[in-house]
Amino acid sequence: MRANFFATVAASVLLAGCAAPQLRGTGDLGIVIERATGSVQIVETSGQTALAKVDGLGDLSHASLVYSRDGRYAYVFGRDGGMTKVDLLKQAIDRRVIQAGNSIGGAISQDGTLVAAQNYEPGGVKVFRADTLELVADIPAAYGNEGKFAKVVGLADAPGNRFVWSLFDAGEIWVGDFSNPKQPRIEKYKNVGREPYDGLVTPNGRYYLAGLFGEDGLAMLDLWHPERGVRRILDGYGRGQEKMPVYKMPHLRGWAVAGRHAYLPAIGRHEVLVVDIDTWQEAARIPVAGQPVFVMARPDGRQVWVNFAFPDNSHVQVIDTESRQVVKRLEPGKTVLHMEFTPRGEAIWVSARDDNKVVVYDTTSFARRLEMPATAPSGIFFTARAARTGF
């Protein structure tokens, strides 16, 4: 009797102690943002299953995330300024801080020790220790002489433990070197163009590009040669002669680079632009079925997948990069918000928000592999991002 009691205790301790978090690799894990419910689903792409749901992440509209260096933790940036560190193995929130009033995303440093958040309110960048979420540096986006602070957009990581971001209201690009995190060195580039609204670092970590909402062009900084300053490229690339209504601003971070060409969404036009990244000249325009939002290259660069703004947001198109033709049109479901390729590109996961599902396609046959229920899914992010620059 007594022995039984203790055996039961032993078993309970055992179950409580280790049965719950399963020992597993993290290289095939991912997260699906459920924007309406402030929750995320943890998924895995080998067996293509949902593993768990984690609640309590606050306002996840327009949420994005980055992964820790080891692939175990996601840092989820909510619109409400909440930054939540989710443990994908324990399937639970590890830490959570409200770090601003209104936030729009973040980045993780090359060495994985620092996480940065870009904030609208108060306008600036805050940098935290990735392990504890302790605040390390606070860089208000002060500009002009009237004590104003700009909204920060387009924050991205770059080699050398640098972060790069843009000041929407000020028309500036700032480069912060956090090699010594408590004493960051900030370089400011002024008059880069009116209203930078988003930015990205190219996959090779060399170029920072900011889209300009107030002008028809992009601001480009060569991070190998910051002394050359910010250059204007692709003047007249998007908004063009007659301005069309823009239903949804395209996301620059979705930029596809395949070989020596980048594929980017024209603003307000039913076109994907092809740009030669050796010369930064426009090489072609590809007609598509709506205003492109995300333009994403399959990891091997052979295909580019495109989703669209309202009213064309119930389908996606696939461009063959060799022929520069649309070779496939798919209808995953209502309100396609995001797409994510598996690490080596054999499949793509697509979120259809208003059908409450994620659809997985084979990228060779275009066959629909499966559908997975999710509550108003938006962003999909796989852990392979941890090993890449500019994600």
Binding site for a second copy (CB under 8 A): 2-3, 6-7, 9-10, 13-14, 17-18, 21, 23-29, 44-46, 67-73, 88-90, 110-112, 159-161, 179, 204-206, 224, 258-260, 278, 299-302, 322, 343-346, 364, 383-384, 386-389
DSSP code, position 11: H
Taken in order 238, 239, 244, 248, the sign of the CA dihedral is positive
Q: What's the one-letter identity of residue 251?
A: H
Residue 196 beta carbon to a second copy: minimum distance, rounded to whole angstroms: 23
To a second copy, the closest distance from the beta carbon of 359 in angstroms equals 18
**DSSP assignment letter at 237:** S
For the CB of residue 326, give the shortest distance to a second copy in the complex, in Å: 18
Nearer to a second copy, 9 or 98 (CB): 9
CB of 110 to a second copy, least distance (A): 5
Q: In what order do the strands lie in the sheet with 292-297?
A: 292-297, 303-308, 316-320, 325-330
Residues forming beta bridges with residue 115, ordered by sequence position: 108, 128
Minimum CB separation from a second copy for residue 85, in Å?
13
Residue number with CB closer to a second copy (288 or 386): 386
Partnered with residue 303 across adjacent β-strands are 320
CB of 384 to a second copy, least distance (A): 4
Min dist CB 97 to a second copy, Å, is 21
* Closer of 108 and 167 to a second copy (Cβ): 108
Quote the least distance from Cβ 204 to a second copy, whole Å: 5
Question: Are the C-beta atoms of 298 and 338 separated by less than 8 Å?
Answer: no
Question: What sign does the dihedral 106-49-58-16 (CA atoms) show?
Answer: negative
Least CB distance from residue 269 to a second copy, whole Å? 29
List the Cα angle 32/36/41 in 5-degree steps.
25
Q: What is the number of alpha carbons within 13 Å of residue 138 lying toward its C-beta?
A: 9
Beta bridge partners of 71: none
| Nearer residue to a second copy within complex by CB, 53 or 90 | 90
Residue 108 CA to residue 25 CA, distance in Å, equals 21
CB 298 within 8 A of CB 269: no
- Pick between residue 15 and residue 135 the one whose CB is nearest to a second copy: 15
The 10 Å CB-count burial string (b at 16+, else e) for 343-373 is: bebebbbbbbbebbbbbbbebeeeeeeebbe
The residue among 248 and 369 lying less far from a second copy, judged by its C-beta, is 369
Q: Which is nearer to a second copy, 40 or 293 (CB)?
A: 40
CB of 40 to a second copy, least distance (A): 17
Question: Nearer Cβ to a second copy, position 143 or 178?
Answer: 178
What does DSSP assign to residue 244? P
DSSP string, 271-287: EEEEEETTTTEEEEEEE
What would the 3-class secondary structure string for 176-234 be? EECCCCCCCEEEEECCCCCCEEEEEECCCCCEEEEEECCCCCEEEEECCCHHHCEEEEC
For 39-107, the DSSP string reads: EEEEEETTTTEEEEEE------TT-EEEE-TTSSEEEEE-TTSEEEEEETTTTEEEEEEE--SEEEEEE
Minimum CB distance to a second copy smaller for 72 or for 338:
72
Smaller CB separation from a second copy, 2 or 182: 2
CA separation for the pair 124, 328 (Å, rounded): 42
